[in-house]
Amino acid sequence: MIEARDLTRRYGELVALDGVSTTIARGEVVGLLGHNGAGKTTMMKVLTGFLEPSSGQVTVNGLNVVDDRESVQQRIGYLPESAPLYPEMTVGDYLVLMAGLRGVPEAECDAAVSDAAQETGLLDRMSQVIGTLSRGYRQRVGLAQALVHGPSVLVLDEPTSGLDPAQIASIRRLIRRLGEHQDTTILLSTHILQEVEAVCDRVLVLIGGRLVADAPIRELLASPTIRLSLARGTDGVADGLAGVEGVESAEIEGADDQLDGFERWTVRCVPGSQPSPAIAQVVAEKGWTMGALAPEQRTLEGVFRELEQQAAREASP
């Protein structure tokens, strides 16, 4: 659906995108994550044909974004961070205007506008002047204009920026509902980690214009570490677990703050392995007293911090 190859964009000496390559399949809901200035908006503008890459190539449905810009943009619904609204127009008139600009045939315009309004919860606001709407409803109008021509790809840049908590929850529910359409691909840019966890299945992480992670969220959050609590003074733990398939090492951390009389062990495992059942079996066979056995819980914030530290180390001379 979307394929970027060695995508680079420069502004003079500033490299906003640095050799980014990724593929996004039909029906995926993908989060583009990074701090302000990481290159997210630049990448979205390049993907949608509003900026040309300095080098590299982008295709949407097999069409080159530079060579077939108009054809590509007909297939894309784009909501920039500042929605392109006309505050003096009514919601209905504005959506009719945008449908016409997007090439919707006149005979199909009313149905297209009605469908977009229904999808975004605007049917009861069609006669209201946009300038009188709340920020949350203006975001809905922005989403409606991105949907009105029935695009196969939705590109949303910071769709909840500046909204209050109730409005954020409402827009997230709307995006999740749109993501349930199996033929619609959604790329969502944000610097809010909770946003990605709430609505996306996969995440791309940009740091300093470089793509440092591209994986399903469940894989990013999967931990190769197991926390094991055993009664204080248990002997032979490291040797006893050394033969368990998938276990690389076991080290004692000290007293378990949560369980009196127990010590906490860190069991490092081969990525992708699931040795917990085998560890429990060894504990039972050895007659050890176990208080807890659980994979370490990772957060997207923690993963992002690790990626930042890794990028800083790689950038150091």
| Position 311 in a domain | no
* Same domain assignment for residues 146 and 40: yes
- 81-96: pLDDT as tens digits: 887 899 999 999 999 9
167 assigned to some structural domain: yes
Tell me, yes or no, whether 301 lies in a domain: no
Asked if residue 260 and residue 208 are part of one domain, the reply reads: no
Cα–Cα distance between 31 and 154 in angstroms, integer?
A: 12
pLDDT at 248: 93
Looking at the structure, tell me whether residues 202 and 234 fall in a common domain: no
205 and 108, same domain (yes or no): yes
Q: So what's the pLDDT on residue 278? A: 95
Domain that holds residue 284: 223-295
- Whether residues 194 and 277 share a domain: the answer is no
On whether both 84 and 233 belong to a single domain, the answer is no
Is the domain of 121 the same as that of 149? yes
- Claim to verify: residue 110 and residue 203 sit in the same structural domain: yes
Q: What is the average per-residue pLDDT within 269-275? A: 86
Cα distance between residue 89 and residue 83, in whole Å: 14
Number of domains present in the structure of the chain = 2
* C-beta atoms surrounding 132 within 10 Å: 11
CATH number at residue 260: 3.30.70.100
Residues 283, 195 share a domain: no
Specify if 96 maps to a domain. Answer: yes
CATH number of the domain residue 167 falls in: 3.40.50.300
Report yes or no: 311 and 207 within 8 Å, Cβ to Cβ: yes
How many Å apart are CA 19 and CA 59, to the nearest integer?
15
In a domain, 179, yes or no: yes
pLDDT for 194: 83
Backbone angles phi, psi at 196, to 5 degrees: -65, -45
Asked if residue 174 and residue 191 are part of one domain, the reply reads yes
Find the farthest-apart pair of alpha carbons in the chain and give their distance in angstroms, rounded. 80
Query: Model confidence at 281, in pLDDT bands (50, 70, 90)?
Result: very high
Task: Tell me, yes or no, whether 289 lies in a domain.
Answer: yes
pLDDT of the residue at 182: 66
Residue 239, Cβ neighbours under 10 Å: how many? 9
Structure tokens at 262: 């127990």
Q: Which of 200, 220, 240 is the last residue before a domain boundary?
A: 220
Residue 308: inside a domain: no
User: Could you tell me if 131 and 157 lie in one domain?
Assistant: yes
Q: Is residue 305 part of a domain?
A: no
Instruction: Report residue 37's pLDDT band, with 50, 70 and 90 as the boundaries.
Output: confident
For residues 51 and 155, what is the distance between their CA atoms, to the nearest angstrom?
14
Roughly how many angstroms between the first and final C-alpha of the chain, as a whole number?
38
168 lies in the same domain as 32 = yes
Quick one: pLDDT at residue 317?
A: 64
91 close to 122: Cβ distance less than 8 angstroms: yes
Return the structure tokens found at 29. 């809901």
HEC profile of the chain: CEEEEEEEEEECCEEEEEEEEEEECCCCEEEEECCCCCCHHHHHHHHCCCCCCCEEEEEECCEECCCCHHHHHHCEEEECCCCCCCCCCEHHHHHHHHHHHCCCCHHHHHHHHHHHHHHCCCHHHCCCEHHHCCHHHHHHHHHHHHHCCCCCEEEEECCCCCCCHHHHHHHHHHHHHHHCCCCCEEEEEECCHHHHHHHCCEEEEEECCEEEEEEEHHHHHCCCEEEEEEECCCCCHHHHHHCCCCEEEEEEEEECCCCCCEEEEEEEECCCCCCHHHHHHHHHHHCCCEEEEEECCCCHHHHHHHHHHHHHHHHCC
Per-residue pLDDT at 2: 93
**Residue 62 reports pLDDT greater than 80:** yes
How long, in residues, is the chain? 317
